Amino acid sequence: MFAVCSHAAMSQPSTRPALYKGYRFPPEIISRCVWLYYRFGVSLRDVSELMLARGIEVSHEAVRCWTLLSLRSTLDD
């Protein structure tokens, strides 16, 4: 069976300051990258390029680390 998520939950990334504390980028940027990766199924490099188009230089490796961190946090909850 599939879990049904509300449209509001899927439309905006969640900001979890405690999860992203101590990183170079603000939680909003990290959340946006993670959201783009999981919501649209794009590659890590595509997320990096999308952020660069918005003037934010972030490596695909940083996005990979953030997505793994987010996944671990979700599984722990």
pLDDT per residue over 64-75, tens digit each?
999 999 988 888
Sequence ranges of the domains in the chain: 26-76
The answer to whether the CB of 44 falls within 8 A of the CB of 37 is yes
Whether residue 51 is predicted with pLDDT greater than 50 in this model: the reply is yes
Q: DSSP string of 2-26?
A: PPP--HHHHHS----TTTTTT-SS-
Contact indicator for 46, 64 with CB cutoff of 8 Å: no
What pLDDT is recorded for position 1?
Answer: 38
Residue percentage of the chain with pLDDT more than 90: 60
Residue type (1 letter), 14: S
Q: How is residue 42 annotated by DSSP? A: -
